[in-house]
Chain A
Amino acid sequence: EIVLTQAPGTLSLSPGERATLSCRASQSVTSGHLAWYQHKPGLAPRLLIYGASSRATGLPDRFSGSGSGTDFTLTISRLEPEDFAVYYCQQYVNSLSSFGGGTKVEIK
Protein backbone atom coordinates (compact mmCIF):
# COMPACT_ATOMS: atom_id res chain seq x y z
CA GLU A 1 0.00 0.00 0.00
CA ILE A 2 1.27 3.47 -0.89
CA VAL A 3 1.21 5.88 2.06
CA LEU A 4 0.94 9.57 1.18
CA THR A 5 2.41 12.12 3.57
CA GLN A 6 1.38 15.73 3.13
CA ALA A 7 3.36 18.66 4.49
CA PRO A 8 2.98 20.97 6.18
CA GLY A 9 -0.09 20.04 8.17
CA THR A 10 -1.12 23.70 8.34
CA LEU A 11 0.02 26.60 6.20
CA SER A 12 -0.71 30.13 7.50
CA LEU A 13 -0.54 32.68 4.70
CA SER A 14 -2.05 35.98 3.62
CA PRO A 15 -4.10 36.61 0.48
CA GLY A 16 -1.79 37.30 -2.44
CA GLU A 17 0.97 35.04 -1.12
CA ARG A 18 2.24 31.87 -2.77
CA ALA A 19 1.32 28.48 -1.30
CA THR A 20 3.44 25.39 -1.84
CA LEU A 21 1.99 22.08 -0.67
CA SER A 22 3.92 18.82 -0.65
CA CYS A 23 2.74 15.24 -1.08
CA ARG A 24 5.32 12.50 -0.64
CA ALA A 25 4.61 8.84 -1.47
CA SER A 26 6.15 5.83 0.26
CA GLN A 27 6.56 4.17 -3.15
CA SER A 28 6.66 5.45 -6.69
CA VAL A 29 3.27 6.50 -8.07
CA THR A 30 3.31 4.98 -11.52
CA SER A 31 2.07 6.84 -14.57
CA GLY A 32 1.66 9.98 -12.52
CA HIS A 33 -1.68 8.76 -11.16
CA LEU A 34 -1.86 11.52 -8.57
CA ALA A 35 -4.67 14.01 -7.94
CA TRP A 36 -5.20 17.03 -5.73
CA TYR A 37 -8.52 18.08 -4.20
CA GLN A 38 -9.77 21.15 -2.35
CA HIS A 39 -12.22 20.60 0.47
CA LYS A 40 -14.27 23.16 2.36
CA PRO A 41 -16.47 22.29 5.36
CA GLY A 42 -19.92 21.07 4.38
CA LEU A 43 -19.14 21.04 0.68
CA ALA A 44 -18.19 18.33 -1.76
CA PRO A 45 -14.47 17.97 -2.42
CA ARG A 46 -13.36 19.61 -5.66
CA LEU A 47 -10.92 18.06 -8.11
CA LEU A 48 -8.09 20.46 -8.89
CA ILE A 49 -5.33 18.43 -10.53
CA TYR A 50 -5.14 14.94 -12.01
CA GLY A 51 -2.31 13.09 -13.71
CA ALA A 52 0.01 15.04 -11.38
CA SER A 53 -0.12 18.20 -13.48
CA SER A 54 -3.32 18.41 -15.54
CA ARG A 55 -5.83 21.06 -14.43
CA ALA A 56 -9.45 20.12 -13.96
CA THR A 57 -12.01 21.83 -16.16
CA GLY A 58 -12.43 25.50 -15.28
CA LEU A 59 -9.64 25.61 -12.71
CA PRO A 60 -7.93 29.02 -12.48
CA ASP A 61 -4.36 28.96 -13.72
CA ARG A 62 -3.02 30.13 -10.37
CA PHE A 63 -3.25 26.44 -9.40
CA SER A 64 -0.54 24.14 -10.74
CA GLY A 65 0.65 20.62 -10.01
CA SER A 66 4.06 19.12 -10.55
CA GLY A 67 6.19 16.16 -9.63
CA SER A 68 6.72 12.51 -10.40
CA GLY A 69 7.76 9.29 -8.73
CA THR A 70 7.43 9.91 -5.01
CA ASP A 71 7.42 13.72 -4.74
CA PHE A 72 4.54 15.92 -5.83
CA THR A 73 3.70 19.57 -5.31
CA LEU A 74 0.59 21.71 -5.55
CA THR A 75 1.31 25.41 -5.98
CA ILE A 76 -1.15 28.27 -5.67
CA SER A 77 0.67 31.24 -7.13
CA ARG A 78 -1.38 33.99 -5.47
CA LEU A 79 -3.89 33.07 -2.81
CA GLU A 80 -7.41 34.38 -3.23
CA PRO A 81 -9.83 34.52 -0.27
CA GLU A 82 -11.75 31.52 -1.63
CA ASP A 83 -8.60 29.36 -1.67
CA PHE A 84 -8.42 28.96 2.11
CA ALA A 85 -9.41 25.32 2.61
CA VAL A 86 -8.02 21.84 3.19
CA TYR A 87 -6.13 20.20 0.32
CA TYR A 88 -5.73 16.46 -0.18
CA CYS A 89 -3.60 14.42 -2.54
CA GLN A 90 -4.66 11.00 -3.79
CA GLN A 91 -2.82 8.27 -5.65
CA TYR A 92 -5.05 6.07 -7.78
CA VAL A 93 -2.82 3.44 -9.32
CA ASN A 94 -5.14 0.54 -8.42
CA SER A 95 -7.54 -0.75 -5.76
CA LEU A 96 -5.00 0.26 -3.13
CA SER A 97 -5.86 3.89 -3.90
CA SER A 98 -5.09 6.15 -0.94
CA PHE A 99 -5.32 9.75 0.21
CA GLY A 100 -2.94 11.95 2.11
CA GLY A 101 -3.75 13.39 5.50
CA GLY A 102 -4.37 16.87 4.15
CA THR A 103 -2.87 20.36 4.39
CA LYS A 104 -4.99 23.13 5.83
CA VAL A 105 -4.32 26.51 4.24
CA GLU A 106 -5.50 29.14 6.71
CA ILE A 107 -5.55 32.91 6.74
CA LYS A 108 -2.62 34.40 8.63
Chain B
Amino acid sequence: SYVLTQPPSVSVAPGQTARITCGGNNIGSKTVHWYQQRPGQAPVLVVYDDRDRPSGIPERFSGSNSGNTATLTISRVEAGDEADYYCQVWDSRSDHYVFGTGTEVTVL
Protein backbone atom coordinates (compact mmCIF):
# COMPACT_ATOMS: atom_id res chain seq x y z
CA SER B 1 0.00 0.00 0.00
CA TYR B 2 1.04 3.59 -0.58
CA VAL B 3 2.91 5.26 2.29
CA LEU B 4 3.06 8.97 3.12
CA THR B 5 5.79 10.13 5.51
CA GLN B 6 5.73 13.39 7.46
CA PRO B 7 8.12 14.79 10.07
CA PRO B 8 6.69 14.23 13.56
CA SER B 9 7.09 17.85 14.58
CA VAL B 10 7.88 21.33 13.31
CA SER B 11 8.53 24.35 15.51
CA VAL B 12 8.22 27.92 14.31
CA ALA B 13 8.24 31.39 15.85
CA PRO B 14 5.22 33.66 15.41
CA GLY B 15 5.37 35.61 12.16
CA GLN B 16 7.76 33.16 10.55
CA THR B 17 7.09 30.51 7.91
CA ALA B 18 6.37 26.84 8.63
CA ARG B 19 6.94 24.20 5.98
CA ILE B 20 5.49 20.74 6.45
CA THR B 21 6.63 18.02 4.07
CA CYS B 22 4.82 14.90 2.92
CA GLY B 23 6.98 12.30 1.24
CA GLY B 24 5.76 9.52 -1.04
CA ASN B 25 6.98 7.57 -4.04
CA ASN B 26 6.40 9.83 -7.06
CA ILE B 27 3.81 11.78 -5.07
CA GLY B 28 4.02 14.49 -7.70
CA SER B 29 1.93 12.25 -9.96
CA LYS B 30 -0.86 12.23 -7.36
CA THR B 31 -3.10 14.96 -5.98
CA VAL B 32 -2.44 15.89 -2.37
CA HIS B 33 -4.79 17.35 0.21
CA TRP B 34 -4.05 18.75 3.68
CA TYR B 35 -6.00 18.81 6.94
CA GLN B 36 -5.53 20.79 10.15
CA GLN B 37 -6.56 19.24 13.45
CA ARG B 38 -6.48 21.49 16.48
CA PRO B 39 -6.33 19.82 19.91
CA GLY B 40 -9.62 18.17 20.80
CA GLN B 41 -11.24 19.06 17.49
CA ALA B 42 -12.13 17.32 14.26
CA PRO B 43 -9.88 17.71 11.20
CA VAL B 44 -10.54 20.58 8.82
CA LEU B 45 -9.55 20.70 5.14
CA VAL B 46 -7.08 23.54 4.57
CA VAL B 47 -5.67 22.75 1.11
CA TYR B 48 -7.06 20.52 -1.63
CA ASP B 49 -5.84 19.59 -5.10
CA ASP B 50 -2.23 20.32 -4.15
CA ARG B 51 -2.66 24.10 -3.80
CA ASP B 52 -6.29 25.24 -3.64
CA ARG B 53 -7.91 26.59 -0.47
CA PRO B 54 -11.50 26.05 0.65
CA SER B 55 -13.48 29.19 1.36
CA GLY B 56 -12.61 30.63 4.76
CA ILE B 57 -9.04 29.35 4.82
CA PRO B 58 -6.52 32.21 4.96
CA GLU B 59 -4.18 32.86 2.05
CA ARG B 60 -1.33 32.20 4.50
CA PHE B 61 -1.89 28.50 3.78
CA SER B 62 -0.44 27.27 0.51
CA GLY B 63 0.62 23.98 -1.02
CA SER B 64 2.94 22.55 -3.63
CA ASN B 65 3.68 19.09 -4.97
CA SER B 66 6.52 17.80 -7.11
CA GLY B 67 8.71 14.76 -7.42
CA ASN B 68 8.65 12.76 -4.21
CA THR B 69 7.57 15.58 -1.87
CA ALA B 70 4.48 17.66 -1.27
CA THR B 71 4.70 20.69 0.99
CA LEU B 72 2.22 22.68 3.05
CA THR B 73 3.50 26.19 3.76
CA ILE B 74 2.07 28.40 6.49
CA SER B 75 3.21 31.99 6.17
CA ARG B 76 3.15 34.55 8.97
CA VAL B 77 2.44 31.86 11.53
CA GLU B 78 0.02 32.69 14.33
CA ALA B 79 -0.60 31.04 17.68
CA GLY B 80 -3.89 29.68 16.34
CA ASP B 81 -2.01 27.64 13.73
CA GLU B 82 -0.72 25.33 16.43
CA ALA B 83 -2.19 21.96 15.46
CA ASP B 84 -1.53 18.59 13.88
CA TYR B 85 -1.42 18.57 10.09
CA TYR B 86 -2.06 15.56 7.85
CA CYS B 87 -1.50 15.09 4.13
CA GLN B 88 -3.76 12.74 2.18
CA VAL B 89 -3.96 11.15 -1.25
CA TRP B 90 -6.45 8.77 -2.82
CA ASP B 91 -5.23 5.38 -3.99
CA SER B 92 -7.29 4.74 -7.10
CA ARG B 93 -6.12 1.12 -7.36
CA SER B 94 -7.74 0.19 -4.05
CA ASP B 95 -10.33 2.96 -3.62
CA HIS B 96 -8.69 3.80 -0.32
CA TYR B 97 -7.83 7.12 1.24
CA VAL B 98 -4.24 7.28 2.51
CA PHE B 99 -3.22 9.67 5.27
CA GLY B 100 0.25 10.82 6.15
CA THR B 101 1.73 10.13 9.56
CA GLY B 102 0.95 13.64 10.77
CA THR B 103 3.04 16.63 11.87
CA GLU B 104 2.62 18.54 15.10
CA VAL B 105 3.23 22.25 14.57
CA THR B 106 4.34 24.14 17.65
CA VAL B 107 4.36 27.93 17.73
CA LEU B 108 7.19 29.04 19.97
Are A and B bound to each other? no
Q: Which residues of A contact B (CB under 8 A)?
A: none
Residue ranges of B at the interface with A (Cβ–Cβ < 8 Å): none
